C-alpha cells in the first residue's frame, strides 16, 4: 500500500489549538498521517505521536530598564520521552506560538530517533522580539523563564539548547539560573553552552556541518559533483553561514544568499567569509562587493543545483516551489517546506534531504556535550567532528536505503524509521499505570 491509497483521516484536534488555523503543528500531523500506512502493527500507537506528552505555558514578567513591568508568553513542550529525556532548543521570536513550539518539539522527537540519539523531543520559546530589548532585559527574561520551566527541565528530564535568536550566552544564563535553584552547578541541564562552561568544541558549527555532510552524501548518490556546484542559501545565521562555509571550502559555488535584510546573487560566487565580514560591519547582507541585489521572490528561481533553506519554517510553499530549479533541497531550517510544496518538489524530481535528518548535526553534538558534561571528560574538536561526520553519513546512507526499498521520498523514509523507533519503545514500555 502507498501513502496515497490511505483515506484522509479526520483530525482529532486538541481544544487548545484552533481547528481553523492549526498553525505549524498541522504540518507535523500531516507528516504523521502520511507515514502511518508504513508502520504496520505499531500504527496502533500512532496517536501517541499526535499529542505532546506535556505542555507548560508560563508567564514571564520582568522589570524593563525604564522601570515598567513587561509580561511575555513562555512555552516548554515535551513532545515525547519514550526513548529518553526530552531534548530541543529555545527560540526567542515575536511570532512564537504554542502550535509552533509543539511542531518544533515533535520534529525533535523524529530527529533524535532518526539519528538514533537516546532522547525524546522537546522545544521551548518565548514570544518576544529580542532586537527590542537590552542585554540586561534579555538576561532577566531568560532567568525568569528558566525558573518557571525549572519544574520540568533537568539533565535527566529535559535538556534545552539554543535555537533562533538564542545562543551560548542564553545557555550560560539558563545553566546558572537552574544551578542556583537546585543548589549545585548542573552543567548538563542545557547544551550549546560556552566552551568555558562545559560547552563542546564544534557545537557552534555542528548544524551547518551536518547540512554539508548529508547534502554532499545526497549529491554523491545523485551523481552530482561538489566541484563548482551552484548553491543558494536562505538564512545566513548559525546554520546557513556554517553550511555556506563548508560547501565553499569543498569547491562549491555560493551563487545566492538571502537573509532578513535582503537577497544577493553573484554569478562568480560569493565568499562566505567576505559576506560574514560585510554583514558584521554593515548589519546587512546586501551591498557586498561583487554581488548584486535581487528581489526577495527571485531568490527561489535562482539557477542552482542545491537549495538550502536555513531560516524559518513554511518558506517553500505552492507560491514558489514551482520556480525552484535546484535538483536537491537540503533543509537546514526546521519545517521550511509545507507538505503540498513537498509533493510538488517530488513530482518535479527534486530530491529533498528533510530537516529531521539534514539539521540533526546540532543535536548530535549537543548529545556529545551532554555526555562530556556527565563524565567531566572533554574531547578534542577533531574527535567531535569525526564522530559527527560518521553519525550523519551513516544515518544518511541507511535512510537512503529505506527510501530505495520502499520507493518513497527521503522524508517519508526518515519518518518510517524514526516513528518505528519511537513507537517500538512505546509498545515495549506499555502504558503506565
Ligand atoms: N542553530 C542550530 O543548531 C539549529 C539546529 C537545528 C535546526 N535549526 C534551525 O535552523 C533555522 C535557522 O536557525 P539558526 O540557528 O541559524 O538561526 P539564526 O537566528 O542564527 O539565523 C537565522 C537566519 O535566518 C534569516 N531570516 C530570518 N527571517 C528571514 C526571512 N523572513 N527571510 C529570509 N531570511 C530570514 C536571518 O536573517 C538569519 O540569517 C531555524 O529553523 C532553526 O530552528 C537550528
- pLDDT of 334-367, one tens digit each? 999 999 999 999 999 999 999 999 999 999 999 9
CATH number for region 51-185:
3.40.50.10860
Q: How far apart are CA 247 and CA 254, in angstroms?
A: 8
Q: How far apart are CA 26 and CA 335, in angstroms?
A: 11
Q: Which of 50, 123, 193, 253 is catalytic?
A: 123
Whether the Cβ atoms of residue 295 and residue 263 lie closer than 8 Å to each other: yes
Burial degree of 333 (CB within 10 A; 0-12, 13-18, 19+)? buried
Helix (H) / strand (E) containing 232: strand 230-234
Find out whether the beta carbon of 237 lies less than 6 Å from any atom of ligand 1: yes
Find out whether the beta carbon of 334 lies less than 6 Å from any atom of ligand 1: yes
Q: How far apart are CA 70 and CA 329, in angstroms?
A: 41
Whether the Cβ atoms of residue 186 and residue 370 lie closer than 8 Å to each other: no
Burial degree of 23 (CB within 10 A; 0-12, 13-18, 19+)? middle
Low-confidence ranges of the chain (pLDDT < 50): 1-6
Q: Check residue 274 and give its pLDDT.
A: 98
Q: Check residue 2 and give its pLDDT.
A: 45
Q: Among 95, 107, 206, 235, which residue has the most ligand 1 atoms within 8 Å of its CB, making it the best to mutate?
A: 235
Whether the Cβ atoms of residue 190 and residue 158 lie closer than 8 Å to each other: no
Cα 258 to ligand 1 centre (Å)? 11
Q: Ligand 1 atom closest to Cα of 311?
A: 24
Helix (H) / strand (E) containing 207: helix 203-221
Cα 238 to ligand 1 centre (Å)? 7
Find out whether the beta carbon of 260 lies less than 6 Å from any atom of ligand 1: yes
Q: Check residue 200 and give its pLDDT.
A: 96
Alpha-carbon distances of 353 from 199, 266, 407, 414, rounded to whole Å: 28, 25, 15, 10
Q: Quick check: is 123 catalytic?
A: yes
**Phi-psi domain of 343 (left: phi exceeds 0; alpha: psi -120 through 50; beta: other):** alpha
Whether the Cβ atoms of residue 77 and residue 123 lie closer than 8 Å to each other: yes
Q: Check residue 10 and give its pLDDT.
A: 63
CATH number for region 205-353:
3.40.50.720
Q: How far apart are CA 104 and CA 102, in angstroms?
A: 6
Find out whether the beta carbon of 333 lies less than 6 Å from any atom of ligand 1: yes
Q: Check residue 276 and give its pLDDT.
A: 98
Cα 240 to ligand 1 centre (Å)? 7
Tell me the pLDDT tens digit for each residue of 109-119: 999 999 999 99
Q: Among 237, 256, 355, which residue has the most ligand 1 atoms within 8 Å of its CB, making it the best to mutate?
A: 237
Cα 334 to ligand 1 centre (Å)? 9
User: Comparing 51-185 with 205-353, is the CATH topology the same?
Assistant: yes
Q: Check residue 9 and give its pLDDT.
A: 52
Strand order, beta sheet including 54-63: 54-63, 69-80, 121-127, 86-93, 158-162
Q: Ligand 1 atom closest to Cα of 236?
A: 39
Cα 428 to ligand 1 centre (Å)? 37
Domain ranges of the chain: 51-185, 205-353
Task: Tell the residue nearest (CA) to atom 5 of ligand 1.
Answer: 362
pTM of the model: 0.94
Q: Check residue 85 and give its pLDDT.
A: 98
Task: Tell the residue nearest (CA) to atom 8 of ligand 1.
Answer: 333
Cα 398 to ligand 1 centre (Å)? 27
Cα 313–chain centre separation: 9
Amino acid at each position: 500500500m502507498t501513502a496515497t491509497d490511505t483515506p484522509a483521516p479526520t483530525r482529532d484536534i486538541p481544544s487548545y489549538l484552533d481547528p481553523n488555523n492549526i498553525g505549524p503543528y498541522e504540518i507535523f500531523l500531516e507528516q504523521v498521517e502520511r507515514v502511518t500506512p508504513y508502520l504496520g502493527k505499531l500504527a496502533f500507537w500512532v496517536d501517541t505521536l499526535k499529542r505532546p506528552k506535556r505542555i507548560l505555558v508560563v508567564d514571564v514578567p520582568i522589570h524593563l530598564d525604564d522601570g515598567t513591568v513587561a509580561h511575555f508568553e513562555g512555552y516548554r513542550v515535551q513532545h515525547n520521552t519514550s526513548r529518553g529525556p526530552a531534548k530541543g532548543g529555545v527560540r526567542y521570536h515575536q511570532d512564537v506560538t504554542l502550535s509552533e513550539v509543539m511542531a518544533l518539539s515533535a520534529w525533535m522527537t523524529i530527529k533524535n530517533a532518526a539519528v538514533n540519539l537516546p532522547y525524546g523531543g522537546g522545544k521551548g520559546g518565548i514570544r518576544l522580539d529580542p532586537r527590542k530589548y537590552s542585554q540586561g532585559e534579555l538576561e532577566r527574561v531568560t532567568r525568569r523563564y528558566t525558573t518557571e520551566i525549572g519544574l520540568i527541565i533537568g539533565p535527566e528530564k529535559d535538556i534545552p539548547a539554543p535555537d533562533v535568536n538564542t545562543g551560548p550566552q542564553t545557555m550560560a544564563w539558563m545553566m546558572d539560573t537552574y544551578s542556583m535553584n537546585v543548589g549545585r552547578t548542573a552543567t548538563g541541564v542545557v547544551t550549546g553552552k560556552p566552551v568555558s562552561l562545559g560547552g563542546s568544541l564544534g557545537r557552534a558549527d555542528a548544524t551547518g556541518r551536518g547540512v554539508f555532510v548529508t547534502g554532499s552524501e545526497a549529491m554523491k548518490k545523485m551523481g552530482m559533483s561538489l566541484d563548482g556546484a551552484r548553491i543558494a542559501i536562505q538564512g545566513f545565521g548559525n546554520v546557513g553561514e556554517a553550511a555556506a562555509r563548508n560547501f565553499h571550502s569543498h569547491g562549491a559555488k555560493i551563487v545566492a544568499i538571502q537573509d532578513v535584510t535582503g537577497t544577493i546573487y553573484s554569478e562568480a560566487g560569493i565568499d562566505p567569509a567576505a559576506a560574514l565580514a560585510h554583514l558584521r560591519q554593515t548589519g546587512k547582507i546586501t551591498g557586498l562587493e561583487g554581488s548584486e541585489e535581487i528581489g526577495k521572490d527571485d531568490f527561489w528561481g535562482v539557477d542552482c543545483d542545491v537549495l538550502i533553506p536555513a531560516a524559518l519554517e513554511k518558506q517553500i510553499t505552492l507560491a514558489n516551489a514551482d520556480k525552484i530549479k535546484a535538483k536537491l533541497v537540503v533543509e537546514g531550517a526546521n519545517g521550511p517546506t509545507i507538505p503540498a510544496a513537498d509533493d510538488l518538489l517530488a513530482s518535479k524530481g527534486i530530491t529533498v534531504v528533510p530537516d529531521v535528518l539534514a539539521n540533526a548535526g546540532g543535536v548530535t553534538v549537543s548529545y556529545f556535550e551532554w555526555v562530556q558534561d556527565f563524565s567531566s571528560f572533554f574531547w578534542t574538536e577533531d574527535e567531535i567532528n569525526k564522530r559527527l561526520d560518521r553519525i550523519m553519513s551513516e544515518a544518511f546512507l541507511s535512510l537512503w536505503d529505506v527510501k530505495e526499498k520502499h520507493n518513497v521520498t527521503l522524508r517519508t523514509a526518515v519518518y518510517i524509521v524514526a516513528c518505528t523507533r519511537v513507537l517500538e519503545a512505546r509498545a515495549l514500555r506499555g502504558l503506565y499505570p
